[in-house]
Chain A
Amino acid sequence: MGFFKSKLKRFNRDNKQKRNGNSEHELRIDELLHRCKESADFVSYRYSESSPFYIHYYQTIVDINILHQYVLPYIKENESKTLFDLQQAIPIDNTEIIDNVHEIRDKLLTGCVVIEVKGSLQEALVISAVSLEKRPVSMPEVEYSVVGPKEAFVESIDANINLVRKRLPIPDLIVEEVKIGSLTKTRVAVIYIEGITDKENVNTILQRLNEIQFDQIVDSSFINQIISDNHNSPFPHLIDTERPDRVASVLSEGKITIIVDGSPHALTGPTTLVEFFSAFEDYFLSWHIASIFRLVRLFAVFFSVLSTSLYVAVLTYHYEMIPENLLNPLIASRSGIPFPPILEAIILELTIELLREAGARLPTKIGQTIGIVGGIVIGTAAVQAGLTSNVLLIIVALAALASFTTPVYQMGNTIRLIRFPFLITAQLWGLLGVTFCFSYILSHLLKMTSLGRPYLAPVYPLRLDDLRDSLFRLPFFMQTKRPLQVRSPVRTRFQPKKHEKSKRDIED
């Protein structure tokens, strides 16, 4: 059934392309040039009166030096009259004589110089002279790490693939490229290691990418949202990372990476929920430390999601639960406040969100001021004015702090969001409501898949082998197998040598 479906789809696609081709077949080279000339940055001239060659290019995307040094002198010297002779003479590789106008158009628009002979109807010499603006490779800002590599992806797809390939110098590293976006024609590269990656995963991604009908793909997050398994889920389905080292690492685990031109973030998948809470820095630290940090982060997530709602639930319904010693300070801090706990909590949570939003939208230097204004001025003033209790202020501030510990920014946003349903149900039904909301989210997570693979693995379905690198990270010598999650055809990463208690010195 599936086979027929895919056949049908391919058939449809081919048909569509043919149709498009037919409709545009009438386009002639002079028409194309005429249309291009409407842009101010399009240059089109005849080199000299005696020369038969017409030169056309967009001056904004062409490296003018290449034209001046390697093209124009040879047109001048060469007395030949044909494009073929000129192609032979020009010392640049990747020159082509193309007779398809559509191809010529595409090349022209991606930074090639087109040379045409007067009189030739559908033929042109295309010389690549691309000049693309890009910033140099810089430090990672979102996923900063103290130790380890300090490279981050940039907005150029070629530079990004370069960063990955230099870490995986094997011919099995396959880059498949598709163009998506009817206007942006964005280059999207799907990278995987042949033999290690499950072909089904690759096909899933390629199929989903090919089915995208969208006019603009500006960033990889567009792709992330469009190809996600469940569009209504607040949880991200693929990890976006700006670290080439992380990409190289997950590729060798058998996962797939999508790099989008113009985006400094690569997407990796299939992924699991726990992977969002593992920073790549974990692998640079010794395994005990990394494991503890991961557990701390997991605790922070729970704390961040549940703390304010528990405060509301306990203060509104479950006065019996409060520890004896906490009772007096709690009542003392609450008794002057004119709002019920839920309003107090929502006001404070919104204040923190406002501060965060304001800090994120403003330049860094002003952002710091916002932090001080918000944290110190608003916080203390609100308590002194008797608008909020200082206990809740501490809880909310800690919860906000805890939500920042999530290494993947997208997940941090999700955690910010799902606190609010908890708050509301806590007010409605107390602890029962919190439990209800938690079960709801848990069942959502249980049903969720990333590229068709279970999202809550290795906890559910329980995969003991995968647990070695999930909630905690065991030492490298125990990580002999690739995660079951990715269904790698070669599960063994390396042949485990018998672990030696003490390392040997050089024997003499």
Chain B
Amino acid sequence: MNVKNYLCCSLIPILLAGCTPSPKVLEDIQLVQTIGYDYVNGEEFEGTAGSSNIPPGEQSLPVNEVFTATGKTSKRIRQKIQAESARPIVVGRVGLVIFNQELAENGIEIQIDSLQRNPSIGRKLLLVVSKEKAKDIIDSNYSQSDSVSQYLIDVVEQNLEQTIPKVNLHRFLVHYYSKDADPFLPLIEKQGKHLKVSGLGIFKDNKLVDTISFGDAYIFKILYEKFRRGQFEVELSGGEDVSLENLSSKPKIMVDKRNGKYTAAFKVKVSGRAMEGVDLDLTDKKTIERIEKAVEREITERAEKMVKRFQELNTDPLRIGEKARQRSDFNRKEWKEQYSQMEIKIEADVNAVQSGIIE
């Protein structure tokens, strides 16, 4: 028995010798951190890999390194890039993928497919649409001293927390594969020495159909997900500007079906702290009420306009369809037919809880 055990133990490593993974020693590989895709023509596209070389030394700063190639598939592009690189290229640390707007309008199916099939790519990967060429965004210098890739990732990540709805590869794929919802991605653009998140790109299936502004993206976020620590600015009837800070909001979608007709309603609960009312007496209850009313009106009006636009484009990034699907009497054909004409109500309930430090 014991001899058998020893034999087994010594045999296992020998038999498994071929199964050992190939080592990828950290400093001997080229870590790609950002990928950009640009439109070339109907068949080919251009891929850009943003990476950095870190010279030895304690205080050394990373040096930006960009590889570009054109091809019909991402794998072909990767092959071409590999030919340029001194070290094997690995994509396990990609944090951001940039799609050029033109490419996105023509569909990003191939790229998404290759991303989601690759086991070494994480599901927390960030996807964005850029107004400029993706290559120009990756291959440029920003005022930050950190590596370019890291800077780009930081800018997008920070905005996903505060100003635009959260989306990463996983969430994108949920919308992308859902029959009753359409995906959306953040929109970025370069502004001088900075990168800026400038709104949202709305997709219909795999094609970009619309972009919405930064301000509307905020309304989108209010309708789309629960969040805290936001900020909202509104102009009162008297012309004064007031801002709500520390905003927390919680949306609720309700879909109703009466006589075969679908209706939907958003109920949004927003509460925040009224701040920065220049000439306003924020201790006065009436003023607070006025602020609340004004914010409610602002949110409702802008949201209704935005939802109308989505209906016109027949796209559903707010996943109203997903909510409708939860009903037992859901009929997808009917829903698809009715979606663009159905009635969607927006109700906002704003509560200004505090007015900061007074006197």
Contacts and interface: CB of A to CB of B under 8 A. Distances in A.
Interface of A: 315-317, 319-320, 322, 324, 327-328, 330-337, 340-341, 386, 390, 428-430
B26 A324 contact: no
**Sorted from nearest, which 10 A-B pairs have the closest CB atoms?**
A336-B56, A320-B92, A335-B27, A331-B54, A334-B27, A335-B56, A316-B23, A315-B26, A332-B60, A332-B54
Nearest to A316: B23
Contacts of A320: 92-93, 120, 122
Contacts of B31: 319, 327
Question: Is the interface on chain B under 10, 10 to 19, 20 to 34, or 35 or more residues?
Answer: 20 to 34
A429 B58 CA distance: 30
B56 A341 contact: no
The SS class assigned to the A binding surface is helix
A332 B57 contact: yes
A26 B249 CA distance: 105
Given A320-B120, A320-B122, A331 B21 contact: no
B55 interface: yes
B147 interface: yes
B277 to A, nearest CB: 40
B126 to A, nearest CB: 13
Contact of A319 (B20, B29, B56, B62): B29
Contacts of B57: 332, 336
A316 B24 contact: yes
A308 B56 CA distance: 22
B25 interface: yes
9 contacts: A316-B24, A316-B25, A319-B31, A319-B92, A332-B56, A332-B58, A333-B58, A335-B27, A390-B58
A331 B51 CA distance: 13
A436 B273 CA distance: 54
- Name which of B27, B54, B150 has the most chain A CB atoms within 10 A of its CB: B27
Interface string B88-118: 0010110100000000000000000000000
Interface of B: 13, 20-21, 23-27, 29, 31, 54-58, 60, 62, 90, 92-93, 95, 120, 122, 147, 150
B21 A328 contact: no
A309 to B, nearest CB: 14
Contact of B21 (A317, A324, A333, A336): A317
Nearest to A319: B26
Contacts of A390: 58
A319 B60 contact: no
B93 A335 contact: no
A316 B25 CA distance: 4
Contacts of A334: 26-27
Given A319-B93, A335-B56, A428 B20 contact: yes
B168 to A, nearest CB: 15
B55 to A, nearest CB: 7
B20 A429 contact: yes
A331 B26 contact: yes
Contact of A335 (B13, B55, B92): B55
A64 to B, nearest CB: 59
Given A320-B93, A320-B120, A328-B62, A315 B25 contact: yes
Contacts of A337: 27
Contacts of A315: 25-26
A320 B55 CA distance: 20
Contacts of B58: 332-333, 390
A333 B56 CA distance: 6
B329 to A, nearest CB: 46
B160 to A, nearest CB: 16
B92 A331 contact: no
Contacts of B92: 319-320
Contacts of B23: 316-317, 340
B25 A341 contact: yes
B118 to A, nearest CB: 12
Contacts of A317: 21, 23-24
B33 to A, nearest CB: 9
A102 B95 CA distance: 86
Contacts of A324: 95, 150
Contacts of B147: 328
Contact of B25 (A327, A340, A386): A340
Contacts of A330: 26
A336 to B, nearest CB: 4
Contacts of B54: 328, 331-332, 335
A184 B57 CA distance: 61
Contacts of A332: 54-58, 60
Contacts of A319: 24, 26, 29, 31, 90, 92-93
